[in-house]
Amino acid sequence: MKLSNYKYYLLGGLLTAGLLNFSACSLDYEPLASYSDLTEGIEEEEGERVEFATKADVESALEALYQKMKDRMEHWAMDQLLIGDSHSDNAYGGSTDGGVVNYENNSIDANNPNIVRDWDRFMEDATAATRIINNVDLVPDASFAEADRNSIKAQAMIFRAFIWFEMTRMWGNIPLNLTLPPDITADNIEEVYPEYFPPQNTQQEAYEKIVEDLLYAVEHAPNTDAADKTLFSNDVARALLAKVYAEKPMQDYSKVIQYCDELEAHGYGLADNFSDLFGMNELVTDVKMRNTREGILEAQFPASGGNWMAWMYGRDLLDYDYSFSWAKWITPSRDLVAAFEKAGDTERYNETVVWYECTWSNYYPKEHYAFAYKCRSGASSIIYIRFADILLLKAEAYLRGANKDLNAAADIIDRIRERAGLDPLPASVRGSESSLWEAYKLERRLELALEGQRWYDLCRWGEVENVMNHINDEGRAANVKPYDENSYLMPLPQTVLDSNENLVQNPGY
* pLDDT tens for each residue of 415-433: 999 999 999 999 999 999 9
User: Helix (H) and strand (E) counts for the chain?
Assistant: 23, 6
Q: Compute the distance between CA of residue 225 and CA of residue 76 in angstroms, rounded to an integer.
A: 23
SS3 316: strand
Q: Which residue has the higher pLDDT, 101 or 196?
A: 101
Give me the percent of the chain exceeding a pLDDT of 90: 85
Burial of 320 (0-12, 13-18, 19+ CB in 10 A): exposed
Backbone angles phi, psi at 232, to 5 degrees: -80, 80
SS3 94: coil
Q: Compute the distance between CA of residue 281 and CA of residue 289 in angstroms, rounded to an integer.
A: 8
- Sign, Cα dihedral of 92, 96, 97, 99: positive
Q: What's the confidence (pLDDT) of residue 129?
A: 98
Distances (CA, A) of 376 to 285, 325, 462: 12, 16, 33
Where does the pLDDT of residue 17 fall: very low under 50, low under 70, confident under 90, or very high at 90 and above? Answer: very low
Q: Compute the distance between CA of residue 101 and CA of residue 92 in angstroms, rounded to an integer.
A: 8
Are 292 and 276 contacting, i.e. CB atoms less than 8 angstroms apart? yes
Give me the percent of the chain exceeding a pLDDT of 70: 90
pLDDT digits 0-9 by tens, 233-267:
999 999 999 999 999 999 999 999 999 999 999 99
pLDDT digits 0-9 by tens, 108-151:
999 999 999 999 999 999 999 999 999 999 999 999 999 999 99
H helix runs in 344-452, sequence order: 346-352, 387-400, 406-419, 427-430, 433-447
Query: Long-range CB contacts (< 8 A, 24+ apart) of 408-417?
Result: 409/436, 409/440, 410/436, 413/439, 413/440, 413/443, 415/270, 415/391, 416/270, 416/388, 416/391, 416/392, 416/443, 416/447, 417/443
Instruction: Please compute the mean of the pLDDT values over residues 389-408 and round it to a whole number.
Output: 97
Residue 294 has pLDDT above 50, yes or no: yes
Q: What's the confidence (pLDDT) of residue 180?
A: 86
Q: Compute the distance between CA of residue 198 and CA of residue 200 in angstroms, rounded to an integer.
A: 7
Where does the pLDDT of residue 206 fall: very low under 50, low under 70, confident under 90, or very high at 90 and above? Answer: very high
Instruction: Please compute the mean of the pLDDT values over residues 16-33 and round it to a whole number.
Output: 34
Q: Which residue has the higher pLDDT, 213 or 42?
A: 213
Q: What's the confidence (pLDDT) of residue 462?
A: 98
pLDDT digits 0-9 by tens, 67-94:
999 999 999 999 999 999 999 999 999 9
Residue 494 has pLDDT above 90, yes or no: yes
